Structure 1
Amino acid sequence: MGDREQKLEAAGFPLERGPKEGPVIDLLSVLGETLYASGQVPYDAGVLTSKGKVPSQVSVEDATKAAALCTANILRAIVLKLGSLDRIERVVRVTGYVNTDPDFTDCHLVINGATNLLKEVFGQEAGRHARTALGLAQLPLGTSVEVEAIFQLKK
């Protein structure tokens, strides 16, 4: 296990609790030196841990934790498919989707959970990225958060 995987586990996200490849879509798609990660929801060992609207049904604090779990699932998928997070040069972009009440305007605070975990695992420089945080009327399965990401692979 590499240093980045150890950091992920130290943050509370054991590798073995991550997503499995599904029958319809790929967890990851690689084109040249760019890795596109499919959107991940806050599953922990196959159980959806956060459902509902932010902030009326899910607190901002809990949604932020869910965003970190979504991101951990992306990183776990990279380990599953590529063998190591050391294959990543840097994080390029993160898009976070938050299932919100109509008047909620703090989606960026929720998606900080994703950004903070990426910086913790990859470091301040390689973990720094462009980002969009969106509030939506609904997400798949009623989940509170979904995160997708793009990475640059090492040559």
Structure 2
Amino acid sequence: MVVPGADARLLELDIDLPPPPTPFGAYVEAVQVGPLLFLSGMLPVIGHEAIYHGRIGEGLSVLEGYDAARAACLSGLAAAKAHLGSLNKITRIAKLGVYIASPGDFQEHPKVADGASELLRDVFGASSVPPRIVLGVSSIPLGMPVEIELVLEIES
């Protein structure tokens, strides 16, 4: 079943997607394998410009982390739309991975990851909230605080 109106839902929510991200190295942003679209790790950027630098809980607040996760997810949606032509072709969010640069004693990972999860829920509906993995890591490429991973099921 196709989730109706994801593109229209973005408009209704007054959410503008950033330009689709471009690689920072030798890789592609999206690869489709059968009914699954695998996205490269998405960072909180607009174009090649970072929105945030640093680690959550050490210079950046949980709220800034939430916003960074949301921004990275918006980049993921922009990459998916560039590949598919429309977000309406997404039938399910198969997996969400959220990697958070944080010190070892940080414990608010779920609150940061909700920035991505809640965006996906708002755009695709409550029945499309994905399973997720949330991990704290010592660093993320280019000194950014959050990186997300998305696997999307698309209509065949």
User: Normalising by the residue count of structure 2, what TM-score does the alignment of the two structures yield?
Assistant: 0.90
What residue identity is the alignment partner of 2:147?
E
- Matching residue within 80, 105, 108 for 2:107: 105
Inter-CA distance 103–22: structure 2 relative to 1 (3 Å threshold)? closer
Say whether the 8 Å CA contact 1:13–1:72 is kept in structure 2: no
Matched, 1:59 2:61: yes
Bigger shift: 30-39 or 44-53?
A: 44-53
Say whether the 8 Å CA contact 2:18–2:75 is kept in structure 1: no
**Unmatched segments (≥5 aa) in structure 2:** none
Cα shift at 1:105: 1.4
Report the aligned-residue RMSD. 1.8
User: Normalising by the residue count of structure 1, what TM-score does the alignment of the two structures yield?
Assistant: 0.90
Say whether the 8 Å CA contact 1:4–1:122 is kept in structure 2: yes
Say whether the 8 Å CA contact 2:18–2:74 is kept in structure 1: no
Inter-CA distance 45–83: structure 2 relative to 1 (3 Å threshold)? same
Matched, 1:141 2:145: no
SS at match of 1:15: coil
What residue identity is the alignment partner of 1:150?
V
Say whether the 8 Å CA contact 1:9–1:15 is kept in structure 2: no
**Unmatched segments (≥5 aa) in structure 1:** none
What residue identity is the alignment partner of 1:144?
P
- Separation in structure 2 between the aligned mates of residue 11 and residue 101 of structure 1, nearest angstrom: 34
- Separation in structure 2 between the aligned mates of residue 124 and residue 110 of structure 1, nearest angstrom: 19
* Aligned pairs for 1:75-154 within 5 A: 75-125=77-127, 127-154=128-155
Matched, 1:42 2:31: no
Bigger shift: 18-27 or 31-40?
A: 18-27
Name the % identity. Answer: 27
SS at match of 1:25: coil
Inter-CA distance 154–144: structure 2 relative to 1 (3 Å threshold)? same
- Separation in structure 2 between the aligned mates of residue 91 and residue 150 of structure 1, nearest angstrom: 6
Aligned length: 153
